[in-house]
């Protein structure tokens, strides 16, 4: 009996491990197309293979999508989240800003804001109530609540990317969090899911419909939204120039502790042993 249980649990772990390795889908694609497409293949109707009109259109500047699976938000792009583009070292990847009430972007710009070329710091949150402050180099992140009266954020370099005037056509701003947010307890210095770069043809690309060459992806935990009583959210991310503006809209689900899943799997395994033993006894 004990041997059987150990065998079943071992088999269960192998199956679970197999599932994990095969589960390359990042979940549902929740990307919002910004509606400001120009002509040509790089300013089309999909976010993958699209940068903002007038900007350099290439995989190196392409942000490809936000994906949601459970409470994990995954961001993918051709832009190198750790190293950026070598000729433009100042245009690093920005942070992930989260709106929780449907007001965000240029309509919610800070007092005194005006579009201008250059990276400028403003006191204000552009309507984003939270920021996931990414540290891709160390594969960690921290979450801050952004008070519009005291949080400081930095704008994108290219004025042409600050043109959004409606929630459906939001500005690329802000680029990154600077300081002044309130740390969200339990969400400081967390380890992100960082994927090794993958090419077209890799399961991570094909399972998520990503095209164009080399891709980068990272995942973060959105449970802080649910814990704070929020459900619907809008996510925003860009790089220092604002060459591409990535937006997503989703609903944060109730967190499911992994331990409950493991506990459940163990019970199913035990039930299988009992059932077998009973049926074996019946036929003997
Ligand atoms: Ca875009
Ligand atoms: Ca894009
Ligand atoms: Ca807002
Ligand atoms: Ca692409």
The residue ranges of every structural domain in the chain are: 24-269
Longest alpha-carbon distance in the chain: 85
Mean pLDDT check: name the lowest of 16-30, 77-91, 118-132, 199-213.
Answer: 16-30
pLDDT of the residue at 7: 44
CA of 94 to the centre of ligand 1 (A): 15
CA of 193 to the centre of ligand 1 (A): 23
Quote the percentage of the chain above a pLDDT of 70: 76
The pTM of the full predicted model, rounded to 2 decimals, is 0.82
* Ligand index nearest the alpha carbon of residue 128: 3
Quote the percentage of the chain above a pLDDT of 90: 65
Mean pLDDT of 89-112: 94
CA of 231 to the centre of ligand 2 (A): 26
* Residue 29 near residue 65 (C-beta atoms within 8 A): yes
CA of 69 to the centre of ligand 3 (A): 23
pLDDT of the residue at 12: 42
Higher pLDDT, 107 or 26: 26
pLDDT of the residue at 255: 56
Mean pLDDT of 198-207: 96
Distances (CA, A) of 107 to 111, 129, 146, 158, 177: 11, 14, 17, 18, 19
CA of 116 to the centre of ligand 1 (A): 20
pLDDT tens digits, 121-174: 999 999 999 999 999 999 999 999 999 999 999 999 998 888 765 655 668 999
């Amino acid at each position: 009996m004990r041997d059987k249980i150990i065998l079943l649990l071992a088999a269960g772990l192998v199956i679970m491990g197999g599932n994990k390795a095969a589960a390359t889908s990042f979940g549902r694609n929740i990307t919002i197309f910004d509606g400001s497409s120009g002509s040509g293949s790089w300013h089309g109707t999909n976010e993958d293979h699209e940068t903002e009109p007038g900007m350099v259109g290439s995989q190196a500047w392409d942000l490809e999508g936000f994906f949601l699976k459970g409470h994990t938000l995954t961001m993918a792009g051709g832009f190198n989240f750790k190293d950026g583009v070598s000729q433009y070292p100042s245009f690093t990847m920005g942070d992930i800003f989260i709106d929780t009430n449907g007001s965000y972007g240029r309509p919610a710009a800070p007092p005194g804001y005006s579009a201008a070329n250059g990276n400028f710091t403003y006191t204000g949150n552009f309507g984003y109530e939270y920021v996931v402050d990414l540290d891709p180099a160390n594969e960690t992140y921290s979450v801050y609540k952004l008070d519009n009266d005291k949080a400081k954020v930095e704008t994108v370099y290219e004025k042409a990317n600050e043109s959004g005037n409606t929630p459906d056509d939001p500005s690329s701003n802000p680029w990154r969090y600077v300081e002044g947010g309130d740390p969200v307890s339990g969400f400081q210095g967390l380890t992100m899911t960082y994927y090794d770069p993958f090419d077209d043809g890799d399961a991570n690309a094909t399972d998520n419909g990503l095209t164009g060459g080399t891709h980068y992806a990272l995942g973060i935990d959105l449970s802080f939204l649910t814990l704070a009583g929020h459900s619907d959210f809008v996510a925003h991310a860009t790089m220092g120039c604002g060459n591409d503006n990535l937006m997503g809209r989703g609903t944060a689900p109730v967190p499911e502790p992994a331990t409950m899943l493991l506990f459940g799997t163990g019970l199913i395994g035990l039930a299988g042993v009992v059932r077998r033993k009973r049926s074996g006894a019946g036929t003997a």
